Chain A
Amino acid sequence: MSSRQAEFSDPRAGAPPRRAAGGSAVGVVFAVLAIVYSVALILRARSWTRLSPLEAVTAAAFGVLLVTLAWWARGGNSARARFRARFAANRAALAGLAALIALIAVVVLASVWSGDPDDMGVGARYAPPGAEHVLGTDRLGRDVWARVAHGGQTTLVLCIVSVGLATLFGVLVGAVAGISGRIVDDALMRWVDGMLAFPRILLLLAVAALARPGALTLGLALAATGWMGIARIVRGEIRRTRGREFAQAAIASGVGKTGLVWRHLLPHTIGHVVVAATLNAGAVILLESSLSFLGLGVEPPVPSWGAMVFDGRDALTSAWWVSAAPAIAITIAAAAFNLVGDGLRDAFETRAAPEA
């Protein structure tokens, strides 16, 4: 609960907890699989084309994200050093991070190192994985690796955009509710509770039915249904900390409401927000694939992981690679986000040291 408090007041709290040894074994296997899978994908070097604007944006966004996180964790502050030590001791989370970076590398470089995802080779339908096609070909003779790599672009761009928007909006609503009086707070929180009552996939389906389909609609809908958890967390943290001494001191020194929230209270919530956003990203990967699978994701010619699994359902045993490749990609992506999210949460919290 009072993790931050413990972090600042108890100098002994920093000792990294002994992590489960078996987790690291599973984690290492998982990371090796993910990396082998990614390298196998990359090795299929085909055409060398220039990066598209979409890929450039994705690469830049991920780069900024990772650099920001690294910069934040690097700081000399002892609380951050403890955070770093705890995260580094968690091998499952490190494995997730490695898998995530490998996956992003593959996906961002997809059009550089893969063939055309829409090219239907002559007479090569359902070709098994081999020298010609690392991951075989699908029903229409298209290269599965090229489609997995390009499908990943769609998925990850949707993921970044929707999680980014949802996080911004959630922080905004949470901050306003946290600092406002009873009436505004109540109204905003009833809105949050009401939104949370809808099963997320039902809301997404309803939007898909009512609005014009497409990647933009999907991204906005994923954002519009993903901000409530973050709003709740931010509001709770601000309510909790706004009575503390440092907040009182800031008010006494003449800081306005906005300054208080922005400069003094919100920085305290960043850990919780990062954790929630990471776990939200894992959920978005699965939701996007479910929607594509139901035929309500991005439009057909654009490759997407969920739609690829659906395409491969007729040949589950005879051409297992068609559905297995995208399904493994979804699993790796979702698991990586979840492992990193869990690891971050454990690293931010100072749990009681495990007893012998």
Chain B
Amino acid sequence: MSAMAALVLRRILNALVLVAVTITLTFVVLHIIPGDPLAHYVEPGTNPADIARMRSSLGLDQPLHRQYVDWVRRSLSGDFGTSILHQRPVRDLLAETLPRTLLLTTIALLVQIGLGVAVGAFAARRRFRRADGIVSTAAVLLYSIPPFYLAYLLITWLAVDHAWFPTAGMVSPGAHGPAAFADRALHLVLPVCVLGIAGAAGFARFVRGSLIDALAEDYARTARSKGLDESAVLWRHAFRNALPVLVTVAGLSAPFLLGGAVVVESVFAWPGAGSLMVEAVGARDDPTVLAITLIGAFLVIAGNLAADLAMLRVDPRAAHDEGMRT
């Protein structure tokens, strides 16, 4: 099991290297883009001494390498300065909004996986036949619909015309107890649908592809020849073998879910980090923008690491193969 421990350690080390790379990249982006960072905040005709004071309070008078060290230290300790828009520490804003975004994206991920596996398995069972073609092409069309328009359609149809769901926001004022829980759940349905459906359409194609590959393998033929029916072959043999790939792909969908959350939160006025990002970009609130960008990357790295570790768990062969290679 020590080979396994070494592998786990290496994955974690890789993730830490990536964290360092992303911190460096945000610093480079901040400094590569032309223009004075203060230009947006300083009124014309401000006393030069005041500008100099602002400069030094933001650390902009320091040499570049000093600023870099400072940026690394602050991003690792979560100290992203004060939001210009809200006049509060960015850390507090993130602590407030990030859990809401994670709630939305986690549920959307579950919907994506559940729906994607169901549709993908449906198509794989009927591979190269009419139903498969319809489902596969429909999936491409579905994820080509701009998510904000899909959101508008759902709002108009289900929230305005039928009033089954609230149109926007996270809670209705004045709900308490179990009613409050149901109210929150209702608010989640439409945003999760928009976010999850687009993801499921993409995920279903991977499920279909890897199941079709697995069903053509020798072990599937063996399973069939020993008398198992097709759905047992699909779920017990093909799916089990396709699982490692699917876990990896699910991990890789983290950036798409987080990116999609930006648009979906804006449409549904969901008070999460995505809405905060759009608000901050509009207000030129650079500290908040950089913090959310970097935290987004950290979350993606964490998601990929989790998927990697899960893959080692569901596929002992991977651990064995890699152990052999090193």
Contacts and interface: CB of A to CB of B under 8 A. Distances in A.
Contacts of A295: 282
Interface in B9-36: 17-18, 21-22, 24-26, 29-30, 33-35
Nearest to A92: B137
Nearest to B300: A197
Interface in B130-161: 130-138, 140-141, 143-149, 152-153, 155-156, 160-161
Contacts of A112: none
B128 A202 contact: no
A19 interface: yes
Interface string B294-310: 00110011001000000
Interface string A1-36: 000000000000000011111111111001000000
A335 B129 contact: no
A355 B218 CA distance: 13
Contact of A290 (B146, B255, B296): B146
A199 B140 contact: no
Contacts of B100: none
A302 interface: no
Contacts of B109: none
B259 interface: yes
B132 A22 contact: yes
Interface in A65-113: 92
Interface residues of B, number: 67
B258 A206 contact: no
B128 A19 contact: yes
B146 A331 contact: yes
Contact of A26 (B35, B133, B213, B278): B133
Interface string A125-165: 00000000000000000000000000000000000000000
Contact of B258 (A199, A208, A209, A332): A199
User: Size range of the interface on A?
Assistant: 35 or more
Nearest to A286: B146
B256 interface: yes
Nearest to B263: A290
B141 A199 contact: no
A316 interface: yes
Nearest to A324: B149
Contact of A316 (B30, B156, B277, B289): B156
B272 to A, nearest CB: 13
A183 interface: no
Contacts of B284: 209
Contacts of B49: none
**Secondary structure class of chain B's binding surface, majority of residues:** helix
Contacts of A206: 26, 29, 281, 289-290, 293
Contacts of A306: 146, 148
Contacts of B292: 202
B310 to A, nearest CB: 18
A239 interface: no
A78 B244 CA distance: 36
A197 B297 contact: yes
B107 interface: no
A210 B29 CA distance: 9
A342 interface: yes
Contacts of A208: 281
Given A205-B277, A205-B281, A293-B148, 19 more contacts: A17-B128, A20-B129, A23-B136, A27-B137, A197-B18, A197-B255, A202-B297, A203-B29, A206-B290, A209-B281, A210-B30, A290-B148, A295-B282, A306-B146, A309-B152, A331-B144, A331-B145, A338-B140, A339-B137
Interface of A: 17-27, 30, 92, 190-191, 193-203, 205-212, 282, 286, 289-290, 293-296, 306, 309-310, 313, 316-317, 323, 327, 330-332, 334-335, 338-339, 342, 352, 354-355
27 contacts: A18-B128, A20-B130, A22-B129, A24-B133, A25-B134, A92-B136, A190-B18, A191-B21, A194-B21, A197-B300, A199-B256, A201-B259, A201-B260, A205-B262, A205-B277, A208-B281, A209-B281, A209-B289, A210-B33, A211-B33, A289-B146, A331-B141, A334-B144, A335-B140, A335-B141, A339-B137, A354-B127
Q: List 9 A-B pairs, minimum CB-CB distance, nearest first.
A: A20-B133, A23-B133, A194-B21, A22-B133, A22-B130, A335-B144, A199-B259, A334-B144, A201-B259
